Amino acid sequence: MDKLLITGGVRLEGEVPISGAKNAALPILCAALLSAEPVTFTNVPRLKDVGTLLRLLEQMGVKVERDGETVTLDAAQIAEPVATYEMVKTMRASVLVLGPLAARCGEARVSLPGGCAIGARPVDQHIKGLEAMGAEVKVEHGYVHVKAPHLKGTRIVTDMVTVTGTENLMMAACLADGETIIENAAREPEVVDLANCLNAMGAKITGAGFDVIRVVGVPALHGATHRIMPDRIETGTYLCAAAVTGGKVRLTGALTSSLDAVIVKLIEAGCQIQSEPDAIRLVAPPRLTAIDLRTAPYPAFPTDMQAQFMALDCVAEGSAMIRETIFENRFMHAVELQRLGAEIRIDGNTAMVQGVEKLEGATVMATDLRASASLVIAGLVAEGETTIERIYHLDRGYERLEEKLSALGARVRRAS
């Protein structure tokens, strides 16, 4: 199993490009299932999760052509509307095939994802929404079986804001009879990117980016070309990496408007941020100020940036309170950060972080994708060498991580 070795203490400086967004690419690639015509996607990040999803689509009979960051999917024939446990257990986002398969094939058999390192993560809202649209859903032997010969537009109010739930229902509604109204919808920029792609394929969606989304069903979607939006979490992660090392970076191909809550916190911590039409610059102070934060659905502070900000607070001046409101078990990185010398106390969904003068390199274990990113950030500022084990998590969501960090001057290498 690969590990990452980081020698801390280098101020990050320079320019790196931001890749296409993982959390936009995954639902958008699934959208190809809704059309019998080929759909082409550009700016598709080269990530393990994307590879997993393409394999899953291939298993169903979708023709996949990949040339670097361009992927063309032809779902003229869907032989088997099935996502097995073997696929879903490696990547929860596989559940995003449920809505499109139900709509296009009138049936689907998708494994329940089960829990993961950060919490229980049920899919009851996806199921309730499909049932409201007239689907017959049975959960048997760990699989969700959907029969939906005629999905009908309806009004759906989700119990909580769910990103992939909103995406699944929005995709299913594209081919339903009549109008579907999704209330309490997720407003994440990735939902908007998916809606833009679906509309380019002939769907009739309005309201994406707001908490009420309206979808007027159409008989069929056609082919299209769509460019995946930049990854706001990757952008935020590099901003944090630069901030913690007192660095100065310019990230190209970034979309600043999707990062407001993160930028506000970086400015509060003492960084200077400058937005350009297609890039973002950060200049860090010699020492950051600790900042409180509370995660919540977009446009509030993203849970996917919580771990990275905890790493910042660990070496900042003062103390900070971090509240995680989305996932019940998303502080796994705290104990690993403590191994580097961080002072963190956890009480339920709240972490109290007391900034220390310095962290010291040690061997730590990555537990999930964003937790891994926080360990990388801590390793960049820790004295001596930090070894991060189980970095396959990082490969799921960060394209060419070592290459990009090295381009900014970091001393980082991968070892088997």
Q: Which residues are catalytic?
A: 116
Strands 272-276 and 279-283: antiparallel
Q: How many whole angstroms separate alpha carbon 343 and alpha carbon 320?
A: 11
Place of tokens 């009420």: 212
SS3 content of the chain, % helix, strand, coil (to 5): 35, 30, 35
How far apart are CB 103 and ligand UD1 at their closest, in Å? 18
Beta bridge partners of 410: none
Cβ–Cβ < 8 Å for 151, 176: yes
Identity of the residue, 74 or 188, whose beta carbon is nearer to ligand UD1 in the bound complex: 188
Please say which residue, 26 or 315, places its beta carbon nearer to ligand UD1.
26
CB of 73 to ligand UD1, least distance (A): 18
Quick one: which of 124, 276, 278, 403 contacts ligand UD1 (CB under 6 A)? Answer: 124
Q: Which CB atom, from 208 or from 410, has the smaller least distance to ligand UD1?
A: 208
The interface with ligand UD1 within residues 317-336 (CB under 6 A) comprises: 326-327
| Phi, psi (degrees; rounded to nearest 5) at 61 | 110, 5
DSSP E strand boundaries for 148-211: 155-157, 179-183, 204-206
Does 93 contact ligand UD1 by CB under 6 A?
Answer: yes
- Pattern 26-55, ligand UD1, x by CB under 6 A: x-----------------------------
- Of 115 and 178, the one with the shorter C-beta distance to ligand UD1 is 115
* SS3 at position 316: coil
309 binds ligand UD1 (CB under 6 A): no
Q: How far is the CB of 55 from ligand UD1 (least distance, A)?
A: 17
Contact with ligand UD1 (CB under 6 A) among 46, 66, 121, 390: 121
Q: Is 160 in the site for ligand UD1 (CB under 6 A)?
A: yes
Binding pattern to ligand UD1, positions 238-277, x when CB under 6 A?
Answer: ----------------------------------------
When asked if residue 303 is in the footprint of ligand UD1 (CB under 6 A), the reply is yes
For residue 60, CA distances in Å to 106, 272, 285, 312, 408 come to 14, 48, 51, 43, 41
In terms of phi and psi (left: phi > 0; alpha: psi -120 to 50; beta: otherwise), the region of 253 is: left
Is 162 a binding residue for ligand UD1 by CB under 6 A? The answer is yes
The smaller minimum CB distance to ligand UD1, of residues 8 and 302, is found at 302
Closest CB to ligand UD1 among residues 92, 222: 92
Residue 401 identity: L
Determine the Cα–Cα distance for residues 175 and 135; give it in Å rounded to an integer: 13
- Residue 23 interacting with ligand UD1 (CB under 6 A): yes
Closest alpha carbon to 353 in 342, 340, 366: 342
Judged by DSSP in three states, 360 sits in strand
Paired residues of 248 in beta bridges = 13, 283
For 213, which DSSP code?
A: E
Q: How far is the CB of 296 from ligand UD1 (least distance, A)?
A: 9
Kindly tell me which of 48 and 250 has the beta carbon lying closer to ligand UD1: 48
| 3-state DSSP assignment of residue 98 | helix
How far, in whole angstroms, is CA 368 from its chain's centroid? 12
| DSSP code for 232 | H
Q: Quote the least distance from Cβ 358 to ligand UD1, whole Å.
A: 30
CB of 29 to ligand UD1, least distance (A): 11
Nearest approach in angstroms of CB 102 to ligand UD1 is: 15
Backbone dihedral angles phi then psi of residue 352, each to the nearest 5 degrees: -105, 125
65 binds ligand UD1 (CB under 6 A): no
The correct pick among 122, 246, 285, 384 for binding ligand UD1 (CB under 6 A) is: 122
Binding site for ligand UD1 (CB under 6 A): 23, 26, 92-93, 119-126, 160, 162-165, 190, 303-304, 326-327
